Structure 1
Amino acid sequence: MKLNTIQPAAGAKHAPRRVGRGIGSGLGKTAGRGHKGQKSRSGGFHKVGFEGGQMPLQRRLPKRGFKSVSLKYNAEVTLAALERLGAAEVDLPTLKQAGLVGQIARVVKVINSGSLSKAVKLTGVGATAGAKAAIEAAGGSVA
């Protein structure tokens, strides 16, 4: 085998569709564009969602909801994750290094999910009321 003899497998390549080349091709006359109208014309197309001047669907529907821009900077850590971490003092860099929160996280909160048996001291990390009670019950503190 040589580089100049390499060919694609049989049936791997298809001839491009040749529109507007006569009745026998099956795509003659209007070339698959239908009759008249903007979409049949050369260069006649429109932006996505355009409905011919009718009020588009995305403008007919009511606006609803809100997505906070700062949401991506917030993160949660469970009590079970702190138990697995096994560190005596926990702060934001410790959590990032362990991979428990994302690198762009700024605000971290411990939530009451799972159980904690080790004493953990939280610094610069928030906690829910239930999580705070569980941490203090295990002999830890939330600063």
Structure 2
Amino acid sequence: MELNGIKPGQGAKHAKRRVGRGIGSGIGKTAGRGHKGQKSRAGGYHKVGFEGGQMPMQRRLPKRGFKSHNLKFNAEVTLSALEQLGLAEVDLLALKTAGLVGQLAKNVKIIKTGELTRAVKLNGIAATAAAKSVIEAAGGSIA
């Protein structure tokens, strides 16, 4: 193979469509732009969502609520997940390595879903009031 012999693969290159070159070409006269109107003219176009002056869809529809950007840093862990984890001491790093919370999580809260029979000590992890009572009843503690 020589450098002067390299060429694109078969069918990789094709001629650019030449519009507006007479009726025989099949795309002459209006060149596929239809008749009249803003979109038929050179330089005439509009911004995304523009509906010809009519109130655009994104402004007609009502807005409700919002989604906090801090949600990705918060995580929840259930009591049943703690039970399956089977560790005596649980902290944020242990939950991340077990895959119970995402790697971006900074704040973790234990919620009361399921049962807990073993004593678990929580370090730097919050718990709901109901979950706290279950943890302490099982002999665990929250630090």
TM-score scaled by length of structure 1: 0.78
Unaligned segments of structure 1, at least 5 residues: none
Query: Structure 1 residue 120: deviation in Å?
Result: 0.6
Whole-angstrom distance in 2 between the partners of 1:58 and 1:115: 46
Aligned to 1:42: 42
Number of matched residues?
143
CA offset digits 1:12-71 (Å, max 9, x no partner): 887654432332443221122111111111222111111223322212222221121222
Are 1:56 and 2:61 counterparts?
Answer: no
3-state SS in 1 of match to 2:80? helix
The one-letter amino acid of 2:119's match is A
Whole-angstrom distance in 1 between the partners of 2:109 and 2:9: 57
The one-letter amino acid of 1:33's match is R
Aligned to 2:120: 120
Query: Structure 1 residue 9: deviation in Å?
Result: 9.0
**Closer/same/farther in 2, CA of residues 118 and 42 from structure 1, 3 Å limit:** same
Aligned to 1:74: 74
RMSD over aligned Cα atoms: 2.6
Matches within 5 A, 1:1-143: 17-143=17-143
**Closer/same/farther in 2, CA of residues 93 and 21 from structure 1, 3 Å limit:** same
Query: Structure 1 residue 6: deviation in Å?
Result: 9.7
Query: Structure 1 residue 8: deviation in Å?
Result: 8.9
Identity of aligned residues (%): 76
The one-letter amino acid of 1:137's match is A
**Closer/same/farther in 2, CA of residues 106 and 41 from structure 1, 3 Å limit:** same
3-state SS in 1 of match to 2:133? helix
Whole-angstrom distance in 2 between the partners of 1:76 and 1:88: 19
Q: Structure 1 residues 39-48 or 95-104, which shifts more?
A: 95-104
TM-score scaled by length of structure 2: 0.78
Query: Structure 1 residue 106: deviation in Å?
Result: 1.7
3-state SS in 2 of match to 1:105? coil
The one-letter amino acid of 1:111's match is I
Unaligned segments of structure 2, at least 5 residues: none
